[in-house]
C-alpha cells in the first residue's frame, strides 16, 4: 500500500538549484532610453553575488552549505497523497500536494529568503528592505534575516496589513520592522496617498517604497530583496520541484498535471520549472499557473515591457502585465494581487508551454474548505486558487473516466488568514472580476512602451 506521505531522506535533498535560463532565451530588461540593463546598473539595489545569479546561464548552481543548514530545519518537505480529497471529489485522479506550509513562516517563501539573506550577509550588507502582500514574504525574510543577523524593514500592502495583523506580529517576533504601504516614509508612498488617501495599496506601490528606501541609504549597507518575479528567485524555488521529482521516483510515478498558484510566479515556477524540459522533449504533461480572476495578469493582459513597481523605479521587464499603475481589488489572496508576472513564466506562456488559468474568489474558498475538511490542513487563500484548478481537473478526469496524476504546490497554510475564511463562511465574500473597460484603462500606462520579441526555446 502506498504511503500517505513520501518523505525524501535528508541526505537526498538537492544540493544544486536548476537555472532555466540555461534552456530558454529571455528578452533583456530595459533601462533609460530603451537600452538593455547591465549587471552593474543593478548594484545599488542588489548585492553583486545575487546579480550574478540573476544573469547566469549555468544550468546548475550550487547551494551554499550555510543555506542548506537553515533549509534543513524543514526540508525536504513532504509530498502527500490527498486521498481523502480525491474521495470527496469522487475522482479517479490521483492527487498529490507538495507541502510547503511546513516551513517556520508557513509558506514556500523562505526557500529564497534564506539564500538572499545569506548572499547579502557575505557581501557585507547590514539591512534589507522589502515589500509584502499578504505577509508570507515579509515574515519569511524576517525569519531569514534573523538567521544571519541582518536588520529587516518590510512595507506591507495596507489592505493586508489591516486584514492580517498577526503576520506583522510574526515579522516583529523575528526582529523586523513592518509598516503599512503606502506610507509617509517615502516619496513613492506620499505620492500614492496624494492620488488616493483611501487606497488599499498594492505590491507595485510597496515595491517602490522598499526600493526607494534601499537606494537612498548613503552608507551603502542597505539592499532591497524581492520575493518573486526575478530569475534568481525562481532559481532558488526550484528546490521544490527537484525534491518532488525525487519523491515521485521513490514510488515510480510521473505526474500528468502540474499546478501552482501564481502572483509573481515563484512557488509555481519552483514546482513547474524542473518539469518543463520534459514537456519540451515531448512528454505529455499539462502545466497550469493559476491566478485570481480579479487580477487576470496571465489570462487577459498582453506580453509587454513594463515596470515592476508603481513609481517606475525598476527597469522595464518583459512580462504579462496589467500596467504598473493598476491597483487590484482588495481580495483576500493578497500574495496574488500583483500587476505583473515573472519574465520567465511570461516567456513560457508566450511560447505555449504553460497554460494559465483564472479562478473566481468564491470557487477558490470552496475548494479550500473542501480540502480542509477532507485533508485537515487549512490552505492559504493563495493556495486555494491552485486547489480550485485541481478541483476542475479532478472533475474533468471523473467525466472522462480517466486516471491521471495531479501534483499541486501547496504554497502555504491559512492559519493566519482565518478572518477571510470567517467572511467566506458567513457569506460575506463576493466574486470580483475585471471588465473590458477596466482592462483598457489599466493598459493605457504601457501603450507606448516597447514590446518583447517572440523567442523560442533553444
- CA-only gyration radius of the chain, Å: 20
| Torsion angle of C-alpha atoms 145, 77, 387, 248, degrees rounded to 10 | 140
Q: How many CB atoms lie within 10 A of CB 430?
A: 11
* Grid coordinates of 100: 510547503
**Is residue 14 one of the residues assigned to a domain?**
no
Instruction: Give the whole-angstrom CA distance, residue 219 versus residue 207.
Output: 21
Q: What is the pLDDT of residue 458?
A: 47
SS (H, E, C) 47-59: CHHHHHHHHCCCC
The conformational region for residue 33 under phi > 0 = left, psi -120 to 50 = alpha, else beta, is left
The CATH number that applies at residue 397 is 3.40.50.1100
Task: Identify the CA nearest to 381 among candidates 341, 424, 428.
Answer: 424
C-alpha cell, 205: 506601490
Q: What average pLDDT values come out for the chain (458 residues) when binned by 10 residues?
A: 82 96 92 88 93 96 98 98 98 98 97 98 97 90 98 94 89 96 94 93 89 91 94 97 97 97 95 92 94 93 89 89 82 72 95 95 97 97 96 96 96 92 94 85 84 72
With the C-alpha atoms ordered 113, 117, 123, 125, is the resulting torsion angle positive or negative?
positive
Strands 16-18, 286-292: pairing is unpaired
Flag whether 436 is in a domain.
Answer: yes
Q: Which domain holds residue 417?
A: 65-106+232-446
Cα–Cα distance measured from residue 303 to residue 317, given in angstroms and rounded to the nearest whole number: 10
SS3 229: coil
In a domain, 51, yes or no: no
Helix (H), strand (E) at residue 304? strand 303-307
Cβ neighbours, 10 Å, residue 373: 12
Domain count, the chain: 1
* Dist. CA 446–CA 172, nearest whole Å: 38
211 within a domain of the structure (yes/no): no
Q: In whole angstroms, give the CA distance from residue 210 to residue 418.
A: 28
Note whether residue 98 is domain-resident: yes
Torsion of CA 261, 266, 267, 269, to 10 degrees: 90
Taking the CA of residue 406 as centre, how many other CA atoms within 13 Å lie in the half-sphere pointing to its CB? 28
Contact call for residues 455 and 26 (beta carbons, < 8 A): yes
pLDDT at residue 2, as a whole number: 62
- Cis bond leading into 182, ω under 30°? yes
Q: Could you tell me if 229 and 308 are in contact, meaning their C-beta atoms sit under 8 angstroms apart?
A: yes
According to the model, what pLDDT value does residue 8 have?
95
d(CA 149, CA 173): 14
Residues 212, 138: Cα–Cα separation, whole Å: 17
How many angstroms separate the Cα of 231 from the Cα of each of 33, 133, 266? Answer: 23, 20, 9
CA distance 27 to 318: 6
Residue 456: the pLDDT is 64
DSSP string for 202-227: -HHHHHHHHHHHHHT-TTS-EEE--S
Neighbours of 122 (CB within 10 A): 13
Coil, strand or helix: which one is 303?
strand
> 382, 69 in Cβ contact below 8 A?
no
Residue 45, CA distances (Å) to 48, 51, 64, 318, 343 in order: 9, 9, 22, 19, 19
Residue 162 placed within a domain:
no
| Helices within 281-340 (DSSP H only) | 297-300
Q: How many residues belong to the chain?
A: 458
Please give the C-alpha separations between residue 210 and each of 125, 177, 192, 207, 244, in angstroms, as whole numbers. 15, 12, 14, 5, 34
Of residues 335, 272, 277, 275, the one with CA closest to residue 131? 335
Is 413 within a domain? yes
pLDDT of 33 reads 80
* DSSP SS3 for 119: helix
In a domain, 304, yes or no: yes
Amino acid at each position: 500500500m502506498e504511503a500517505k506521505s513520501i518523505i525524501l531522506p535528508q541526505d537526498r535533498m538537492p544540493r544544486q538549484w536548476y537555472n532555466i535560463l540555461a534552456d530558454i532565451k529571455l528578452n533583456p530588461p530595459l533601462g533609460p532610453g530603451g537600452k538593455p540593463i547591465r549587471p552593474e546598473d543593478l548594484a545599488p539595489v542588489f548585492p553583486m553575488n545575487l546579480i550574478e545569479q540573476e544573469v547566469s546561464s549555468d544550468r546548475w548552481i550550487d547551494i551554499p552549505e550555510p543555506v542548506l543548514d537553515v533549509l534543513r530545519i524543514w526540508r525536504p518537505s513532504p509530498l502527500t497523497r490527498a486521498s481523502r480529497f480525491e474521495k470527496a471529489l469522487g475522482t479517479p485522479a490521483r492527487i498529490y500536494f507538495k507541502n510547503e506550509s511546513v516551513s517556520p513562516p508557513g509558506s514556500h517563501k523562505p526557500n529564497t529568503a534564506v539564500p538572499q539573506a545569506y548572499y547579502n550577509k557575505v557581501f557585507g550588507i547590514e539591512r534589507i528592505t522589502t515589500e509584502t502582500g499578504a505577509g508570507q514574504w515579509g515574515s519569511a525574510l524576517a525569519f531569514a534575516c534573523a538567521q544571519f543577523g541582518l536588520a529587516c524593514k518590510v512595507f506591507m500592502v495596507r489592505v493586508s496589513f489591516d486584514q492580517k495583523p498577526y503576520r506583522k506580529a510574526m515579522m516583529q517576533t523575528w526582529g523586523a520592522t513592518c509598516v503599512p504601504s503606502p506610507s509617509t516614509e517615502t516619496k513613492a508612498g506620499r505620492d500614492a496617498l496624494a492620488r488616493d488617501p483611501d487606497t488599499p495599496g498594492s505590491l507595485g506601490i510597496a515595491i517602490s517604497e522598499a526600493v526607494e528606501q534601499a537606494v537612498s541609504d548613503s552608507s551603502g549597507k542597505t539592499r532591497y530583496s524581492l520575493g518573486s518575479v526575478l530569475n534568481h528567485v525562481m532559481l532558488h524555488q526550484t528546490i521544490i520541484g527537484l525534491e518532488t521529482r525525487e519523491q515521485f521516483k521513490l514510488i515510480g510515478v510521473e505526474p500528468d498535471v502540474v499546478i501552482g498558484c501564481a502572483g509573481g510566479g515563484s512557488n509555481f515556477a519552483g514546482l513547474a520549472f524542473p518539469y518543463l524540459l520534459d514537456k519540451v522533449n515531448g512528454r505529455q504533461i499539462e502545466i497550469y499557473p493559476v491566478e485570481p480572476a480579479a487580477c487576470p495578469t496571465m489570462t487577459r493582459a498582453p506580453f509587454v515591457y513594463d515596470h515592476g513597481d508603481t513609481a517606475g523605479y525598476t527597469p522595464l521587464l518583459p512580462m504579462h502585465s496589467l500596467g504598473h499603475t493598476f491597483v487590484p481589488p482588495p481580495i483576500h489572496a493578497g500574495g496574488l494581487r500583483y500587476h505583473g508576472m515573472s519574465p520567465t513564466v511570461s516567456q513560457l506562456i508566450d511560447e505555449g508551454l504553460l497554460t494559465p488559468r483564472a479562478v473566481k474568489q468564491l470557487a477558490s474558498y470552496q475548494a479550500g474548505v473542501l480540502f480542509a475538511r477532507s485533508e485537515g490542513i487549512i490552505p492559504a487563500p493563495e493556495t486555494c486558487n491552485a486547489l480550485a484548478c485541481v478541483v476542475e481537473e479532478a472533475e474533468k478526469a471523473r467525466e472522462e473516466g480517466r486516471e491521471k496524476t495531479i501534483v499541486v504546490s501547496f504554497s502555504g497554510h491559512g492559519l493566519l488568514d482565518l478572518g477571510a475564511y470567517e467572511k467566506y463562511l458567513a457569506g460575506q465574500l463576493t466574486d470580483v472580476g475585471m471588465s473590458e473597460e477596466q482592462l483598457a484603462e489599466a493598459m493605457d500606462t504601457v501603450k507606448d512602451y516597447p514590446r518583447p520579441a517572440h523567442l523560442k526555446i533553444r
